[in-house]
Chain A
Amino acid sequence: MAMAKPSVIIVGSGAGGSVAAWALATAGHPVVVFEKGRNLLPGLGGPGPIGSLFGNDILKESRSFEDQDPVLEPRSLRSQSDAHNGVARSFVGDVNDLPTVVGGGTIHWDAKTPRFWRQDFKGLSLYGPVPGANVADWPLTYDDLAPFYDEVERHLGVQGDVGRMPAHTLAQAPRAHQFVMPPNPPMYAGLLLGAGAARLGYTAYPFPMAVNSTAYGGRPRCNSCGFCSGYGCPINARGGAAVSFLHDAIRAGAELRPRSFVHRIDMASADRAAGVSYLDANGNHRSERADIVILAASAIETARLLLLSANSDHPAGIGNHSGQLGHNLMFHFFTLAGALFNEEIHATRGPSSTMTIDDFVGPARPPEAAAAGLPYVKGGICETGGTLGYGQEIGIYASAFPAGGGGHKQLMRQSALRRHATGISMVGEDMPQIDNRVDLDPQLHDVYGFAIPRITHSAHRFELVASEHYGPMLRAICDASPGIIPGASTYVPVGTLAELSGPGSPLYGLATTAHIMGTARMGDDPASSVADAFGRLHDVSNVFVGDGAVFVSSGGFNPTNTIMALSLRMARSIAGVVAASTAAASLPNTAQPASPSGPAVVAAAATVAALGAAGRRRSRRAREPGDD
């Protein structure tokens, strides 16, 4: 057919935006990607290999090299009780900032790519309501998403070993295929903790991650330099939005416009967008028109853009007839356990951590949950065997010695936390709450002159009780690990680190993570959700949300793989390749046959699960004697 395919504007070049750009550009759609930040990957989208301006440099990492600059684009923050008492804000600055560059958060992500589990999509049906939380089912199932996980992981370049994954994991997140690469060399500290876990009946296994253990996708093998989470990769061995997807999208014809800040969705009618208004790299006001607009600016910025775009037809923000826009904001609060080991265990060598334990995902129903009026608690997947990097070590010692006296130097000389400590950090599922939200700060503006996003957030007792429940179990693994100095272990429940480590501590980043979800939740009912099961706004027929804003629950898992899978499913519905119920019907030129996905995938997954046990025995013997 000669008819042109619908043109697409994508706002944001991170996980969601780049995957959509790749899927749509390679399907022949004209695509323009707007990115508020600059490009720090020379050669991206070009014919040769992709370069990198990142290095093993602790200063650049702390100098807003890739992050949003809070001096220019601050955010404000307050608690629920602040909001209740009419306090406009209690903090202004860096609030859950993600990298604001081409590639978004995946520029310095830890690249851990667990999938959400079956139960995460049906929390309300399976486990019932939680008092004070806005628990709901997703409008899709694990099986709906599974083929998109498969495709995303293949193109992203994910390593792992299905044969070593526990049966309970594969029952909850069945896999149709082995990973495209074997695991990285295991970090020694992770092997020690894995041995401790095994003694207690838990299973540590190679953490699936978007890191090249072999050359893959035109990018080299990881050499375990250790500057991983929080650092841009100097050699692009780590997969991500830019290097795995946007690069190919540009080569397929997508146009990337860095340093272009989209501040408004322009409407053609009450239920159709005409395009967007933006400031270009020189600060000029410009507009772009397209058939479809996809928002993938992160859960905070996507909600902000929809709110900034309010007009007479959408007085409370575009897509907000449900009143849910900006609400149900979710983070992940990590629970940490750590221990000191007698020998040097160099847990800084490798991609932050190579092992995971998912025995604490839950749900569990301990007495303390009932005492708190909770029907159950859930924890999350555990990053196992990392430690503080050099920059973090410098910071935490400084919190103990804020002036002179030589104490800081003494601790640095010993460098015990970096060389002799390791630990476990558990991603904690965060309950959605109506009162945890993003709105527009009523007074403060950013450098562009637009209202900054204001975050209102308080933890639910669900997270705090869960952290106190699982924390001692994580510590017990440390205590059971070979080589630990007896008694030199601890666990740090949610919320503690921020308080004890004080202003400026890098541990703040561990205590309140950059996992940002919710604010435009998907659902079948337009009265209680913002977007449909394919990310399309209920209120506007050609505006889609392609990032973590659509999450209904936060799960106990690093969210990026799920963001990417949801975005790919959304993009395929736009391209007409997936039976998208109502999603494709009103879009121009998208009526194409759908491809079935469900039953075949389920059958394949069952096969993998059956094969899993044998594979697990075999590979464990072959690879990691210390882990038995």
Chain B
Amino acid sequence: MEDALPSGVARVSLRRRLAPLWPWLIAMVALALPFAVDSFSLFQLTMVLIYAIAILGLNVLTGISGQFSLGHGAFFALGAYATAILLEAGAMPYLLTIPAAAILCLVAGYLIGLPALRLKSVHLALATFALAIAIPEIVKLSIFEHVTGGVHGILVGVPPVPPVLKQAIGVDQWLYFLTLGIGFGLYLMSCNLADSRTGRALKALRENEVAAASMGVATSRYKAVAFAISAMITGIAGSLCALVVQFVAPDSFPFQLSIALLVGLVIGGIGSLPGALAGGVFVVFVPNIAESVSKGLAGAIYGLLLIAIIFSNRNALGRH
């Protein structure tokens, strides 16, 4: 018992010494994976990254500014449709459709955010939920059918690998690296946002709205900005999803998608930006695991796994 203490101290200090190495280790694994796994697993990993980006977007809203959204699946769908429709029209090269989708979702997020964010947290969650339910129905409307393809959706061609990389990597690897790069960029941007003047204003909003307002923070404008940036990041994830899955249809974006993103957010830890990755892993793999255990009880097993992970991970949840 007596020598337990020194070894414990040693372990902590070793861990502390290793701490700066973690990001490098993760980066090396992330860069090496595409050359180590088969193309299907790589596709799944790309989907993990895409959902991680979408959850990152939600985290900017919930983690930094303290607002809740049950409707981010709508922005995911908007980004995906923007890319698919632009490609279908042959309007621009596919790489440019990603920033186009981002700008569209930024503007849409701001416009929807302005009125919606006058609502208090729970009511805001419901208002955004309405958005998530409405989007698939709107896409199906016959007046938009010639653009959206209605219930039948739009096929997106396989995005070509840039000529300079063609010799070295295949399509699945290219899409993985593209998603990884964009995701990393958005992660850095979110970290910077959290530490910026805007970020501090948003955190003040999260902690106490009245106090923030009395300190001179324009609450509804800042909330709308947070909502817009959050919608933009999630929209970029949707745009990447269209390129990777190469198909969009209303049934790909049911309101359950918004719930799945929220579940991923809570699993990864609200306010924990790297936790978005854990959330992405959960969103992609846990439904498959639940189904592989039992088809009839897949929903119940999903719920059990969710509860098990929440309890095994309890102290990480809700951390800012």
Do A and B come together as binding partners?
no
Residues of chain B whose beta carbon lies under 8 Å from any beta carbon of chain A = none
What residues of chain A have their CB less than 8 Å away from a CB belonging to chain B? none
